[in-house]
A and B are shown apart, each in its own frame.
Chain A
């Protein structure tokens, strides 16, 4: 069908753009670090601790009323925002947030739980029959652990990816691939710092998925590079890489296209709970596609590959069902 009209052979000289691309990536990474350290990430309660309570907006009640009711509870600063809740109709909700409770050196964990109880009681008193849609209280101990295990998960994922690629390809590829992954993760985090979208457990899940996706993309290009480098032994490496990227270009665009279609449908229709996660994924897919060409492949070109020998390992023939 339509794909027949896609040019039979594209011949984009991607590698000639690698210096401007490098500059672009370096600027993005620097900006991301800058944003992460100055503006900071907007940690959700998963990582910062604290409470979030969502209620259905009672008729004729506004945020100011809720703020007034909760102001006297001594919870420190309480944020009260109106929003649209998850759901097909998207009813109006009010979201209440407050930070980890100060217990004067006492038990902060217990104070956090008590605070949630008293907010529930105060809301029920003020608006009889109020629909409390969700509530969460995460104590400082748990939030610290969640952040730590999230970061460990990211680190372990990156290390295992590097190991896998080193086994399947030469080390230059592994380095290129992992550089691309760091690139994607840092810039996506920078994007979260810029937009101040909430950074929580789902965001870590999204980052890991981006790592998987970006790796997937990179491997497909590398697979081709390896194949063409073996076929055209005399062709210079930059041309080989361009050839491989061009050959896989329609696949790259198609897969990114379908994945983005699916992700946009989560972002638009999946409700507020999933919007942060799908935002990260959408951004990550785009940046991951870019990085497999301009970071991973460009770095392989810079490092050079060993083209004399046979590759270390050939895929063992696999008989399908």
Chain B
């Protein structure tokens, strides 16, 4: 299925409903992405106000989540969507939960960023966090792109990146254990760093979930809890 298929219903109000729903999800995604960028920016460039700004976006994100939820219930009740329309509604209902959680994790990162800003910074200025942050933000960005275009290839590519996130997570984890053993005074900071890394890793997982929903939406195949190679095979295989 493709995005243009949304607008081919006999009922023009149905078309409008689905189209509005889709753009609301993209708007919500855009806000969450901005929250995330700001939060990570707050770590590399110390900024005590980052928390306030991220929290402001949060209000709008929550509002959108509620209204999208409501629209989905209304469409389910009044239209009895089937096939790709049904998959779209289900996908959206699940996607906004993951988006909202990405926003929550972003807020946690921002809160720690504000705390770290008040403290002495390490020589590398949290380069490892910036790298991981960029990787994860890229995943969220591309996930939203894939969603906007119903692009399963891009979704698969995002799924692949999750492994790199896990590797980065591992390596930062080890590095911080070393810091803590060398100098117990760094424990506090190292723990904060670990919280951030943990949040970023979770965000990657949420992006991954959305990509899996998207594959279900477009191809009708459930690829959750499936190894990446098998997903690729599924994507290439004719529908079965």
**Are A and B physically bound partners?**
no
A residues near B (Cβ < 8 Å) are none
B residues near A (Cβ < 8 Å) are none
